[in-house]
Amino acid sequence: MRPINDIFGCNKGSPPNLRADLKASLGEFFGMAIFIFLALAGVQGALEAPTFQSVGAATGPTATQIQSIAFSFGVGITVALFICGAVSGGILNPAVLLSLMITGNINWLRGIFFFIAEIVGAIIGAYFANFVTAHELQGVNLLNPGFNYAQGFFAECLLTCVLCLTVLFIIVDKHLLADFAPFVVGSAVFICHMIGAPVDGTSINPARSFAASIVTGKWANHWIFWFGPLIGGIFAVMIYLAVKVITEESQEKALLQNAHNQAMIDADKNKEQNQQNPAQYTSVNV
């Protein structure tokens, strides 16, 4: 498996490679199209009913529908990551992309290409999902009854922060679970949808919400599904960097303490050896 930094194209000091960026962006485009198609088609199957028009409509999804929606997005992102992960790194989310760009894990040129690829791929995937369904696409993010703007915004911000932290700590930091990245990210997406679906259907991905709105023409409260996830990604970066600073300081203190302890041990050993083997002096007669 290629190192994650090589996939992201962010090795320190490496010059921009337009050909590699375009190749990776193509992988990001196909991965996003596959993810959104699978996810929104799954939502359509879960919510296919004459009285239900969208995720976050008048009556809100049932518990069974929420589970089906969460499963569709969790499995959808897992499948897409297996398909495109080796080509682009499988970011598939502008909020995650932003967090990786801020932390320097993706250069800004590639980030711009990826953003365009994600938006276009999401729209294509949404249109395909709409094409294979008998009724109007039902995967639009809208606030459910009983929830206000602040709750929707906070939910999107917090849940996206969790997703971005998962990517930063597990994948970027090359945790032992990094080799299982598709399953880890899929699990995070699944639980985020289980939590957020009763609020607004769960976006945590501006491209996903934008694509569904483009296809259906429904834009109510759409700003929540851009600002919430993007600010959540920024918060994730702040938490990540803070933890890294604390961890590095702790590791530095531990190294200094270990060096001091080793020096004391060596000094004690030298002292014992000197006591056991006193210096021999040779008498000189004058």
Q: What percent of the chain has pLDDT over 70?
A: 78
Output 171 or 131, whichever has higher pLDDT: 131
Kindly provide the b/e burial profile for residues 168-184, where b requires at least 16 CB atoms within 10 angstroms of the residue's own CB.
bbbbbeeeeeeeebbeb
The reported pLDDT for the residue numbered 252 is: 61
How far is the C-alpha of 165 from the C-alpha of 123, rounded, in Å? Answer: 26
Residue 261 has pLDDT above 70, yes or no: no
How far is the C-alpha of 35 from the C-alpha of 182, rounded, in Å? Answer: 12
How far is the C-alpha of 18 from the C-alpha of 22, rounded, in Å? Answer: 6
CA 98 to chain centre: 10
Give the residue-averaged pLDDT of 4-24.
65
How far is the C-alpha of 184 from the C-alpha of 62, rounded, in Å? Answer: 26
- Cβ neighbours for 147, distance < 8 A, ≥ 6 positions apart: 199, 200
Closest CA to 36 of 161, 157, 206, 152: 206
Superfamily of chain region 4-244: Glycerol uptake facilitator protein. (1.20.1080.10)
Closest CA to 140 of 221, 51, 76, 72: 221
203-232 pLDDT tens trace: 999 999 999 999 999 999 999 999 999 999
Judge whether 239 and 165 are in contact, CB under 8 Å: yes
How far is the C-alpha of 59 from the C-alpha of 201, rounded, in Å? Answer: 12
Helix then strand then coil, % of the chain, to nearest 5:
70, 0, 25
Maximum mean pLDDT: which of 17-31, 48-62, 261-275: 17-31
Q: What is the mean pLDDT of the chain?
A: 86
60-75 pLDDT tens trace: 678 889 999 999 999 9
23-32 pLDDT tens trace: 999 999 999 9
- Could you state, in order of their start, the residue ranges of all structural domains in the chain? 4-244
CA 30 to chain centre: 18
Q: Bridge partners of 141?
A: 55
